[in-house]
Structure 1
Amino acid sequence: MLFEKYWIKCPICNGKTRVQVFYNTVLRNFPLFCPKCKLTHIVDVEKLEIIIKNSEKQTF
């Protein structure tokens, strides 16, 4: 479906993040934070395919 929402899952732990996208959404250099593994990943998303560009540990 074109207008069905999909959750982006963490590419490391496969946990659900707080970001939803449509099938035709394109994201470039998007900072994706995973609340489960506490990591921020710089990703590209196109046609629900996630490509990891960089991962870094979140510091508080």
Structure 2
Amino acid sequence: MVSEKWIICPTCHGKTRLKILEATELKNFPLFCPKCKTRTLINVKKFQISIIMEPDAKTQSR
């Protein structure tokens, strides 16, 4: 039997529309939450989800 889990939104902790398998690996994946309407960049490896913190546009210099 293949094990699968829902991806949970890191902002509101609601269930998103995506399921992942244990062997799923994602890098720089733009996760959209339909409940809180936020977009978060995540990495996924063996059900471990890590959030990628984007730099704030106001703090970047040219």
- TM-score when normalising by structure 2: 0.78
Runs of 4+ in 1 over 2 A off after TM superposition: none
Q: Distance in 1 between matches of 2:37 and 2:17?
A: 13
**1:23-58 deviation per Cα after TM superposition (whole angstroms, max 9, x unaligned):** 111100001000111100010011111111036xxx
CA shift at 1:5, angstroms?
1.7
Identity %: 48
Cα distance in 2 between the residues matched to 1:40 and 1:54: 11
Letter of the structure 2 residue corresponding to residue 43 of structure 1: I
Q: Which has the higher helix share?
A: 2
Count of paired positions:
54
Q: Cα RMSD over matched residues?
A: 1.4
- CA distance in 2 between partners of 1:40 and 1:14 (Å): 13
Unaligned runs of 5+ in 2: 55-62
What TM-score comes out, normalization by structure 1 length? 0.80
Q: Considering only CA atoms, is the larger Rg found in Structure 1 or Structure 2? A: 2
